[in-house]
Amino acid sequence: MFKKILIANRGEIACRIAATARRMGIQTVAVYSDADASAKHVQACDEAVHVGGSAPKDSYLRWERILEAAKATGAEAVHPGYGFLSENSDFAKACTAAGLVFIGPPASAILAMGLKAESKRLMESAGVPLVPGYHGADQDPALLQLEADRIGYPALIKASAGGGGKGMRVVEKSEDFAAALASCKREAINSFGSDAVLIEKYVQRPRHIEIQVFGDTQGNCVYLFERDCSVQRRHQKVLEEAPAPGMTEVLRAQMGAAAVAAAQAVNYVGAGTVEFIVEQTAYDQPESMKFFFMEMNTRLQVEHPVTEAITGLDLVEWQLRVASGESLPLRQDELRIQGHAIEARICAENPDNNFLPATGTLQVYSKPQATSFERGTIRIDDGVREGDTISPFYDSMVAKLIVHGDTREQALARLDTALAQTHIVGLNTNVQFLRHVVRSHAFATAQLDTALIQRESAVLFKQDPVGLQAAAAAVIADALHAEFAKQGADPFSRRDGWQSHGTTRRRFELEYDGLPVCAVLTCTSPLRLQVGEGAESDLQFTPQPTSQGDGLWVQFNGQRIHSAVHTQDKASDGLRHVFTPQGSTRIRLLDPLAHSGEAATEVGRLTAPMPGKVVSFSVKAGDKVKAGQALAVMEAMKMEHTVQAPHDGTVAELLYAPGDQVAEGAELLKLSA
């Protein structure tokens, strides 16, 4: 077994690998960029080496610098994690040439499966079912258009060297193909260094089911069952679970055998995932499901913890043992499924604004109590701590929340409870959105396909399960509780409202969902509160600390809820985050003494929605545009985002050029009415 390894990655996966290595008595070396100098993964390892600037191309993708770090620190092997260099065959070769063990498959297997078109041709020769499509080397746009027309719409354009949902576009009709192809190629070359694409028929009502495979250097190969990753946004996974709901034993055996055959066709070693697209006639007819090979990811997957939960195994330990020359710890007939596991990806993004990535500081980062590491009821994998900054340089994922139960229903309930106990303040996240998905009828009843989020949008987006009345009562109770704690117990500040003159009323100015609201508190015993046009009702509250910090039981308007209120930084002008078991919301408690003048918004001012790079402008000064027309494309957090015209007008001036880096809120162009 290795004595020391270098982890060529960052964030939660680097912390994850370090935890297993520590348990096995293996020393670890971290690498870090300028932005990650004090990151959690740096402190999780025994040593750390600086490898360059904040952008991945200046640090985590500089494999020659990483190899120097490995040799300088005496590491015997390199674990690439996922992303970055994990599926780079040149890096795997370079590790071997430097006398280091690459903890992953042979470079030849990475190369064979890394190009989607090549891998599909390989699978076709091996008899694995494929989705109808074009996987040829000729990348002439006119030919690709003809092939898409031949296959039929909707069609899917995919980067041949891609992964993680990047370089992928669904095209609904022929006239949209050219623009989608150009965008896909730009994203592909920026992410993978190649703009080659393939075209496939977009399968209707598809499920994304993948098989975890593992091979060793002795020629043994097993599959560790399946994961359903159908719930996706922007072709990236949101929730993953194992085993796949509705999976029959016959289909599981067929898909497992196909996955093993795919791995053996390239002499695969280590952890890998064979991904299938599964067509279904109806949600309640699993016997009608047909599977087609999609791709093979030649690395450990983000969602590997759900496989660990249902098998009781540590896949990173398996990786280390196989890479050191040991045979697989178990045979196929020794593997068993135990219960059900679900993983939720907690990301810094705004689901109600097309999942726009968010940056900022984790002013509050409170999470549920983990019950074990390898396998248990609740597990949290993350690479951040409270006070850390989510930057625009890397992926938007903050943490992975994994739950396990004896049944899917039990796992769902535990996941919802754990999400309710996850409090994040300082930037937008998808925590509340994840709760909406988990509670939706479609997900709860396993009516799964990759379009679940779109078809269930009415119950997933712009939902506030708390409401104005409860939110206002919570923030006012929190403010009063803080006042009482400071004032002490003199008779003029007692919570029963005792005073030497008549009844006193206090006004609280609030802002909720962008609208002003006035709340009036009558200082009697008990206190009475009226919020907006609602009825006046008793307000009572009692301290109730939790593992997430101070909380209050608040009784108002016939409801008794437990709430935790967190105030964002001073720059947020009184913004409060209210967390309850039912959900979370935001409400602003305004300071009546503060200057409340509002700056007028300049008409025609279009700004960058996040820090990033200007990719292109589709207009020039003097062009007339229509509302909703695409004006510019930005790239941030490895994704492209289109800036659209808010109204009809004329482009007055472009303020940046393609390739320029811009800050959040920077004015990109001027649009006159």
Residues designated as active site:
299
Q: Count other C-beta atoms under 10 Å from residue 363's C-beta.
A: 17
Encoding tokens for residue 669? 């162009």
Q: Are 432 and 459 in contact (CB under 8 A)?
A: no
Burial of 495 (0-12, 13-18, 19+ CB in 10 A): middle
Strand, helix or coil at 234?
Answer: coil
Encoding tokens for residue 656? 């940046």
CA separation for the pair 571, 545 (Å, rounded): 27
Residue with tokens 């409170």: 366
Encoding tokens for residue 158? 């995919």
Q: Are 294 and 277 in contact (CB under 8 A)?
A: yes
| Bridge partner list, 605 | 670
CA separation for the pair 40, 422 (Å, rounded): 19
Residue with tokens 């791995």: 263
Cis peptide before 526 (omega within 30 of 0): yes
Nearest Cα to Cα of residue 443 among 344, 338, 337:
344
Distances (CA, A) of 107 to 9, 88, 93, 191, 492: 18, 8, 6, 20, 77
Distances (CA, A) of 600 to 363, 409, 597, 603, 667: 29, 51, 9, 9, 15
Measured in whole angstroms, how far is the alpha carbon of residue 297 from the centre of its chain?
18
Counts for the chain of helices (H) and strands (E), in that order: 17, 39
CA separation for the pair 578, 583 (Å, rounded): 8
Q: Calculate Rg over the CA atoms of the chain.
A: 27
Q: Are 370 and 304 in contact (CB under 8 A)?
A: no
**DSSP assigned state of 369:** P
Residue 90, H or E segment: helix 89-97
Burial of 447 (0-12, 13-18, 19+ CB in 10 A): buried
The residue count of the chain comes to 673
